[in-house]
């Protein structure tokens, strides 16, 4: 069953198109990831799906309700962990959750019960009466998660929850996300961290310039590039002219160089290692290592967009 479904979803800001016709199907129980660089349209998509931003054209259904015509019904069923911390810094976790519960019209006893339960889940129970302004980034994010879960939503939207956190806090937040998902909550998760998407998400949509350029499980996405073969060659005193020379070999499609490491995108060829070793020997270059590299999501992204996910200029 699709818990989220969009058809031709578009968001324009004046004449700029931030989201350009998204067709999406997310199943109940999935941990679904939007992966894309800055400005790809991840937050804009999340904001439309969570009724925070109007839809320019197309349609979206969330938890069975139309986002445009039944936004209140949608809001009852979703929780949101926004990209920016949006709770009151001068209030404690207990006070923050109390305020949100009241806003949502929850009965007092239920707010209290949920607050205790959730603060334990997000491991903030021992800080429940401390003002949240002084919390670390990781603690604030965990409090945001608790706030998003207060009214027991079916779907939790998390917008780059681990960005800016230290490695330990990232791991803790990922573990928490996984645990929530294991307990039945559908999670929609955005990130620009490819390893994170790879490790955490059941299915991933790679977004760039407002469109989904590829979608599938991490394995399916990697399979897209595995028709080619990535070979890494570590060679002493590598330079650009050597990279250019390698690129002229018939089975080599492209070469990128990072210091002494050459990354070759090649068509699958018999004896590629032997041919390369022979080539470098003739060039009088000392090869340290030749190895096949398993494709990563980064390779998928580079191949699909012809740019690096970290290169924000494109």
- Within 10 angstroms of residue 118's Cβ, the number of other Cβ atoms is 22
Can you tell me the distance from the alpha carbon of 207 to that of 209, in angstroms, rounded to the nearest whole number? 7
Nearer to ligand ATP, 122 or 207 (CB): 207
- 50 binding ligand ATP? (CB under 6 A): no
- 272 binding ligand ATP? (CB under 6 A): no
- Specify whether the CB–CB gap between 41 and 11 falls below 8 A: yes
Build a one-symbol-per-residue string for 155-184: x at contacts with ligand ATP by CB under 6 A, - elsewhere.
-----x------------------------
Nearer to ligand ATP, 114 or 174 (CB): 174
Instruction: Pick from 4, 6, 32, 44 the residue near ligand ATP by CB under 6 A.
Output: 44
Instruction: Pick from 150, 192, 212, 252 the residue near ligand ATP by CB under 6 A.
Output: 192
Q: Closest Cα to residue 122, out of 140, 98, 100, 136?
A: 140
Q: Quick one: what does residue 38 bind among Mg ion, ligand ATP, none, with the CB cut-off 5 to 8 Å set by partner type?
A: ligand ATP
List Cβ neighbours of 37 (8 Å cut-off, separation of 6 or more).
192, 208, 309, 310, 311, 312, 314
Nearer to ligand ATP, 40 or 235 (CB): 40
- Rounded to 5°, the CA angle 205-206-211 comes to 95
> How many Å is the Cα radius of gyration of the chain?
24
- 42 binding ligand ATP? (CB under 6 A): yes
- CA-CA distances (angstroms) from residue 82 to 159, 180, 299? 5, 17, 29
Per the DSSP assignment, residues forming a β-bridge with 117 are none
For residue 134, the 8-state DSSP code is G
- 33 binding ligand ATP? (CB under 6 A): no
Q: How many helices (H) and strands (E) does the chain have?
A: 11, 14
Can you tell me the distance from the alpha carbon of 191 to that of 281, in angstroms, rounded to the nearest whole number? 43
- Specify whether the CB–CB gap between 7 and 58 falls below 8 A: yes
Nearer to ligand ATP, 151 or 192 (CB): 192
- 137 binding ligand ATP? (CB under 6 A): no
Nearer to ligand ATP, 36 or 79 (CB): 36
- Specify whether the CB–CB gap between 93 and 119 falls below 8 A: yes
Where does this chain bind Mg ion (CB under 5 A)? 42-43
- 41 binding ligand ATP? (CB under 6 A): yes
Instruction: Pick from 6, 43, 132, 229 the residue near ligand ATP by CB under 6 A.
Output: 43
Structure tokens at 71: 């936004």
- 203 binding ligand ATP? (CB under 6 A): no
- 36 binding ligand ATP? (CB under 6 A): yes
> Least distance to ligand ATP from the beta carbon of 36, Å?
5
- 114 binding ligand ATP? (CB under 6 A): no
> Least distance to Mg ion from the beta carbon of 34, Å?
9
Nearer to Mg ion, 43 or 265 (CB): 43
Pairing relationship of beta strands 186-191 and 155-159 according to DSSP bridges: parallel
For residue 191, the 8-state DSSP code is E
For binding to ligand ATP (CB under 6 A), which residues are involved? 13, 16, 18, 36, 38-44, 83, 160, 192
């Amino acid at each position: 069953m699709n818990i989220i479904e969009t058809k031709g979803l578009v968001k324009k800001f004046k004449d700029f198109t931030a989201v350009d016709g998204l067709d999406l199907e997310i199943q109940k129980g999935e941990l679904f990831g939007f992966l894309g660089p800055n400005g790809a349209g991840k937050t804009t998509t999340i904001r439309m799906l969570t009724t925070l931003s109007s839809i320019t054209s197309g349609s979206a259904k969330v938890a069975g309700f139309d986002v445009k015509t039944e936004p209140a019904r949608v809001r009852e069923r979703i929780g949101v962990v926004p990209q920016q911390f949006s709770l009151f810094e001068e209030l404690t976790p207990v006070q923050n959750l109390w305020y949100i519960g009241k806003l949502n019209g929850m009965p007092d006893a239920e707010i209290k019960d949920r607050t205790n339960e959730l603060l334990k889940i997000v491991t903030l129970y021992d800080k429940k009466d401390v003002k949240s302004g002084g919390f670390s980034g990781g603690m604030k994010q965990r409090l945001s998660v608790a706030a998003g879960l207060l009214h027991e939503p079916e779907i939790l939207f998390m917008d780059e929850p681990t960005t800016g956190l230290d490695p330990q806090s990232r791991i803790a937040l990922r573990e928490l996300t996984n645990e929530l998902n294991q307990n039945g909550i559908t999670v929609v998760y955005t990130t620009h961290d490819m390893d994170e998407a790879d490790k955490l998400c059941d299915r991933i949509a790679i977004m760039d310039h407002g469109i989904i350029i590829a979608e599938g499980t991490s394995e399916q996405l990697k399979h897209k590039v595995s028709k080619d073969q990535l070979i890494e060659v570590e060679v002493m005193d590598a330079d650009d002219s050597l990279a250019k020379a390698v690129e002229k070999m018939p089975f080599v499609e492209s070469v990128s160089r990072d210091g002494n490491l050459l990354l070759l995108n090649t068509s699958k060829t018999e004896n590629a290692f032997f041919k390369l070793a022979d080539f470098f020997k003739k060039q009088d270059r000392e090869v340290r290592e030749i190895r096949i590299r398993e494709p990563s999501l980064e390779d998928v992204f580079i191949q699909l967009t012809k740019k690096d996910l970290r290169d924000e200029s494109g």
